[in-house]
Amino acid sequence: MDPFALLRRAGLDPGAHAPERLSGGDMGEVWRVGAWVIKTHPAPPPGLFPAEARGLAALATAGARTPQVFWAGEEGLVLAYLPPGPPDWSDLARQLARLHTHRLEGYGEAAPVYLGRFPLPEGEGNDWAGFWVERRLEPLIEATRTRLGGLAGELERFVRAFPWPAEGPVRIHGDLWQGNVLMTRAGAALIDPSSWRGERAVDLAMMELFGGFPQAFWSAYEALAPVPEAVRAALPAYQLYFLLVHVHFFGAGYLAPIARTLKHYSAL
């Protein structure tokens, strides 16, 4: 969609600014027009952008820095543009420690949530292992069953038997790779969330899966919110969630790390 059209729907005047294409990854198109960022998609699933706006608002309420949302609709989002600034890993550590140590009630979200464009089942629960397996992992296993082939059965048995550690529900970003962290003039900011009430291990697992977070971050985070050994040991198992969604969107190239993870735990 024309980014100017979304600005007009938001009641904003683009003035003489020309649209500048920004990196939108694989999940949409992103434009900067002056003081605003416009996110669109040629065929968004229903509720995708309103879900992202809710996630940004929830993270901000919980103490994270996020871009202001000026307008959200089925066609896209209009956000504040955050000018880039120097890396501030200590600031990111403080924000995430604040999110990850403030206990909430129950897991999940009553409203729709997406992981990328994958719709996560709505609903809430109090039993972490049951919620995680039934509402997060098994839907992804089912969606990727054809590509998983013989791994599907082994994976199902593993996720049902694994002793998923639980510290308690907190507000999580839900898709926290380095590309979803902006370093701005005001400090670190979080974007593109898949936010719900879950275990912080979900965020930590994604942060370690593809790297990009330096020791300066981890040292500051551990000082504020130490990670128990049981949680740290379970992070490769939690990474299966993100590997499965990558299989779903990008194909069989992500099967090998799934197989390695299962082998890692079978050898313990």
pLDDT in tens, 83-134: 999 999 999 999 999 999 999 999 999 999 999 999 999 999 999 999 999 9
**What is the value of pTM for the model shown?**
0.96
Calpha distance 263→246 (Å, rounded): 19
The two tokens of residue 172 are: 């999580």
Calpha distance 210→236 (Å, rounded): 12
151 has a pLDDT exceeding 90: yes
Better pLDDT: 189 or 28: 189
Amino acid at residue number 29: E
Q: Is 88 a catalytic residue?
A: no
Which among 88, 91, 175, 203 is annotated as catalytic?
175
Average pLDDT, integer, range 167-179: 97
Check residue 254 and give left, alpha or beta (phi > 0: left; psi -120 to 50: alpha): alpha
SS3 of 118-169: the string is EEECCEEECCHHHHHHHHHHHHHHHHCHHHHCCHHHHHHHHHHHCCCCCCCC
**Chain centroid to CA 258: how far?**
19
Give the neighbor-by-neighbor strand order of the sheet with 29-33.
20-22, 29-33, 36-40, 76-80, 69-73
* Distances from the Cα of 141 to the Cα of 84, 99, 137, 205, 263, angstroms: 38, 29, 6, 18, 18
Strand partners, 118: 115
